[in-house]
């Protein structure tokens, strides 16, 4: 059993690999986020951030298509306060969208740091402090 564990772990790790061709296809699918998608992300931010009303320096990436079943992703970079009340610095969070609605997030997702991702200011998210 001990000999099979490393093989199983290696197979599991490799199953998440993405080929360069698949990566290029995802990056080529970039499109600007719609107003409805931005509004859905702003609404969901209240659940994902510890202090969503402290958000500053926000940017949003283009939306990329992950599969043909409607799964997409968008990255949000922002600086917000943590549980201790201090700013953490800008972090990138990947937001998975299913048919335009946020389904899950992943903080510091590697794809958000890719130079191919195009970002623009996201003042709608910063405006939460005015609500």
Q: How far is CA 108 from the centre of its chain?
A: 8
**Three-point CA angle 68, 69, 75, nearest 5°:** 80
- CA-closest candidate to residue 37, choices 79, 74, 78, 90: 74
pLDDT in tens, 13-37: 434 566 888 888 888 889 999 999 9
Backbone angles phi, psi at 70, to 5 degrees: 100, 5
Instruction: Please tell me the distance from the alpha carbon of residue 87 to that of residue 56, in angstroms, as a whole number.
Output: 10
pTM of the model: 0.79
- Among the residue ranges 14-18, 100-104, 117-121, the one predicted with the least confidence is 14-18
pLDDT at 47: 84
pLDDT in tens, 68-99: 888 999 999 999 888 898 998 899 999 999 98
């Amino acid at each position: 059993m001990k000999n099979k564990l490393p093989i199983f772990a290696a197979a599991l790790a490799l199953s998440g690999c993405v080929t360069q061709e698949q990566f290029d296809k995802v990056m080529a699918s970039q499109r600007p986020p719609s107003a409805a998608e931005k509004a859905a992300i702003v609404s969901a931010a209240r659940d994902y951030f510890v202090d969503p009303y402290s958000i500053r320096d926000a940017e949003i990436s283009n939306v990329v298509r992950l599969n043909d079943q409607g799964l997409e992703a968008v990255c949000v970079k922002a600086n917000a306060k943590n549980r201790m009340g201090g700013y953490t610095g800008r972090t990138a969070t990947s937001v998975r969208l299913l048919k335009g609605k946020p389904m899950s997030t992943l903080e510091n997702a590697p794809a958000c740091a890719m130079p191919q991702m195009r970002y623009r200011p996201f003042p709608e998210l910063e405006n939460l402090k005015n609500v």
